[in-house]
């Protein structure tokens, strides 16, 4: 008996240690196999549209060399058509000369061997090489299998003032870049950008008979363009509007703008005689959440670590020793910091969804166990026998966790659902054994014979139940989303069934012997 008990406990501890050594990784949901993904390119503010378009075309050319890629669409200066993921990630708000998107369309899943995530991981080094050479920040946006988030890794950086927030955000960004497996690091801090303001000298302009409105019209005509006439073309149904303006190269040249002629009663004079040039710093965008100013630092995980759980644990360890102006950085995993004078970060993104989902599933599992216990208590009219019947439930981990390690599957929310479903199946097997033992005892058989006979007689229906679960799981095991559910049911059913046939009769025998004493 001691060998059985110690062996079972040892197997359970060894199985749970697979989580500690990361042979089994925890993740909200595994990567799905979609027929598309996006490449998001961001440049420093003020980058010309031609540069953004050229880099996007170069990235698209690299992608078109991938066998599974059917086509690409390139967008620069404006947002690409967006899906639900793009809506949550605010891709529809992307505009300006410093942004570009590449939409990548893959062959249907039944016509390719690699999944979309494997393709995205394979092309990442080539895309990063192009982007790094051209000064672009790149993100590969895959369609998530579950609820979309702003990014897989999101650090909300809070602080008492702008300077401390910026310093803390820079530290977090550097830690992300130094963490293995963390990619696509970006933040919401915009690069400093100068803005030239032309201020009209009313005294000088008025001395030569020029109004402020005239100067404004000249500048608007040169830089933005204004409709001045309509041109009719042969065969055209509608006339074409003529909008003159300076060439792009001249629009970026301050001396060319200041040399623009302005009509005066005495003849045309250069614009520079009426204006003063002021150099200003462009105001950067500010972000807030619940009326609290913050800086977002975002990233993704790919390659070495593909679960945000372990990346965040590693980054928390690195951030523990950081001090900014003598202040430590507080780390919040699920709630927003309350103190306004505190320098802190709050992890969001997939981490937040993972915490909430596994918390809710854990609560649901506890409620299920309580209901099962109450039902079994009502049937057997005992408070201890249900504990014997439910003892094999944690033993399902002896099959579930090694099963995930063998198949290389993540332990996901669907795995947890499979574990909850398996609890009912295992309890049913235990009830069959205990009920048979009690019926045999009622016929006058000894406890030892009843226990042995129950294991022998009930083995076939219990084994057939496990076989049916395994066969049903085979249908789902190749699906990337429900693989965790299938692995949990199949491996958990086999392991728990084998242990149930030994542990439940033995525990029942121990309980009855203790009562007889």
Report pLDDT digits (tens) over 335-366.
899 888 889 999 998 888 888 899 999 999 99
Tokens at 482, concatenated: 């429900």
On whether the CB atoms of residues 3 and 11 are closer than 8 A, the answer is: no
> Residue 140 has what pLDDT?
92
On whether the CB atoms of residues 348 and 333 are closer than 8 A, the answer is: no
> Residue 340 has what pLDDT?
87
> Residue 103 has what pLDDT?
94
> Residue 73 has what pLDDT?
94
Mean pLDDT of the chain: 89
> Residue 177 has what pLDDT?
92
Is residue 86 pLDDT above 80, yes or no? yes
Query: What pTM value is reported for the model?
Result: 0.79
Distance CA 517, CA 515 (A): 5
Closest CA to 409 of 478, 360, 492: 478
CATH 3.30.2090.10 placement within the chain: 194-281
Strand partners, 157: 295, 345
> Residue 443 has what pLDDT?
87
Is residue 195 pLDDT above 90, yes or no? no
Is residue 517 pLDDT above 70, yes or no? no
> Residue 470 has what pLDDT?
92
Closest CA to 170 of 160, 182, 185: 185
CATH 1.20.1640.10 placement within the chain: 2-27+382-516
User: Which secondary structure element, helix H or strand E, spans residue 293, and what is its range?
Assistant: strand 292-301
Distance CA 416, CA 362 (A): 8
Strand partners, 275: 200
Please state the φ and ψ torsions of residue 277, each to the nearest 5 degrees: -90, 120
* DSSP annotation of 60: H
DSSP string covering 211-253, please? -HHHHHHHHHHHHT----EEE--TT-SSPEEE-----HHHHT-
Is residue 191 pLDDT above 80, yes or no? no
Q: Percentage of the chain surpassing pLDDT 90?
A: 38
Angle at 254 between CA 249 and CA 258, to 5 degrees: 115
Architecture of domain 194-281: 2-Layer Sandwich (3.30)
> Residue 205 has what pLDDT?
83
**Residue 407 CB coordination number (10 Å):** 16
Distance CA 258, CA 302 (A): 51
Based on C-alpha coordinates, what's the Rg of the chain? 34
Please say whether the structural domain 36-190+293-351 has been given the CATH code 3.30.70.1430.
yes
Closest CA to 188 of 220, 218, 151, 225: 151
CA 250 to chain centre: 44
Topology of domain 2-27+382-516 in CATH is Multidrug efflux transporter AcrB transmembrane fold (1.20.1640)
DSSP string covering 177-191, please? HHSTTEEEEEESPPP
Average confidence (pLDDT) over 206-229: 86
On whether the CB atoms of residues 396 and 419 are closer than 8 A, the answer is: yes
Find the distance separating the first CA and the last CA of the chain, reported in whole Å. Answer: 18
Average confidence (pLDDT) over 483-490: 93
Average confidence (pLDDT) over 293-299: 94
Tokens at 501, concatenated: 């046939």
Distance CA 485, CA 403 (A): 11
Contact residues for 37 (Cβ-Cβ < 8 A; gap 6+)? 104, 106, 116, 119, 120, 140, 141, 142, 143
**Residue 130 CB coordination number (10 Å):** 18
Please, which pLDDT band fits residue 72 given cuts at 50, 70 and 90?
very high
CATH 3.30.70.1430 placement within the chain: 36-190+293-351
Please, which pLDDT band fits residue 467 given cuts at 50, 70 and 90?
very high
Out of 61-75, 119-133, 435-449, pick the least confident. Answer: 435-449
């Amino acid at each position: 008996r001691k060998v059985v008990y110690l062996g079972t406990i040892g197997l359970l501890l060894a199985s749970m240690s697979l989580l500690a050594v990361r042979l089994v990784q925890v993740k909200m949901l595994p990567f799905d196999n979609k027929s598309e993904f996006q490449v998001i390119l961001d440049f420093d503010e003020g980058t010309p549209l031609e540069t953004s378009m050229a880099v996007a075309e170069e990235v698209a050319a690299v992608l078109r060399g991938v066998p599974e890629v059917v086509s690409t669409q390139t967008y620069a200066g404006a947002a690409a058509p967006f899906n639900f993921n793009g809506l949550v990630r605010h891709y529809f708000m992307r505009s300006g000369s410093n942004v570009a998107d590449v939409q990548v369309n893959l062959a249907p899943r039944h016509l390719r061997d690699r999944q979309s995530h494997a393709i995205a991981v394979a092309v990442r080094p080539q895309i990063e090489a192009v982007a790094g050479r051209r000064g672009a920040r790149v993100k590969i946006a895959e369609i998530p299998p579950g609820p979309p988030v702003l990014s897989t890794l999101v650090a909300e950086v809070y602080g008492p003032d702008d300077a401390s927030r910026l310093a803390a955000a820079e530290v977090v960004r550097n830690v992300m870049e130094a963490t293995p497996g963390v990619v696509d690091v970006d933040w919401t801090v915009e690069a400093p950008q100068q803005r030239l303001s032309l201020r009209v000298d009313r005294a000088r302009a008025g001395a030569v008979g020029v109004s402020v409105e005239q100067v404004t019209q000249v500048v608007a005509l040169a830089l933005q363009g204004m409709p001045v006439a309509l041109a009719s073309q042969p065969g055209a149904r509608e006339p074409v509007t003529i909008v003159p303006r300076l060439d792009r190269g001249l629009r970026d040249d301050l001396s060319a703008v200041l040399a623009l002629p302005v009509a005066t009663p005495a003849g045309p004079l250069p614009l520079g005689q009426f204006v003063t040039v002021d150099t200003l710093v462009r105001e950067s965008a500010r972000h807030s959440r619940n009326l609290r100013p913050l800086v977002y630092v975002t990233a993704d995980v790919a390659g070495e670590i593909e679960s945000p759980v372990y990346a965040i644990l590693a980054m928390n360890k690195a951030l523990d020793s950081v001090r900014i102006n003598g202040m430590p950085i507080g780390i919040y995993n699920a709630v927003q910091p309350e103190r306004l004078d505190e320098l802190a970060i709050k992890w969001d993104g997939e981490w937040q969804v993972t915490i909430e989902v596994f918390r809710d599933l854990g609560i649901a599992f506890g409620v299920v166990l309580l209901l099962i216990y109450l039902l079994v208590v009502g049937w057997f009219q005992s408070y201890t026998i249900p504990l014997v019947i439910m003892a094999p439930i944690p033993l399902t981990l002896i099959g579930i966790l090694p099963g995930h390690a063998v198949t290389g599957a993540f332990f996901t929310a669907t795995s947890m659902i499979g574990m909850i479903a398996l609890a009912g199946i295992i309890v049913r097997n235990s009830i069959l054994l205990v009920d048979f033992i009690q019926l045999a005892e009622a016929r006058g058989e000894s406890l030892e014979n009843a226990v042995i006979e129950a294991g022998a007689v009930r083995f076939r229906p219990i084994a057939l139940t496990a076989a049916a679960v395994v066969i049903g799981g085979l249908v789902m095991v190749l699906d990337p989303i429900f693989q965790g559910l299938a692995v949990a049911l199949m491996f958990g059913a086999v392991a728990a069934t084998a242990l149930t046939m030994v542990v439940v009769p033995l525990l029942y025998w121990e309980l009855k012997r203790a009562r007889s004493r």
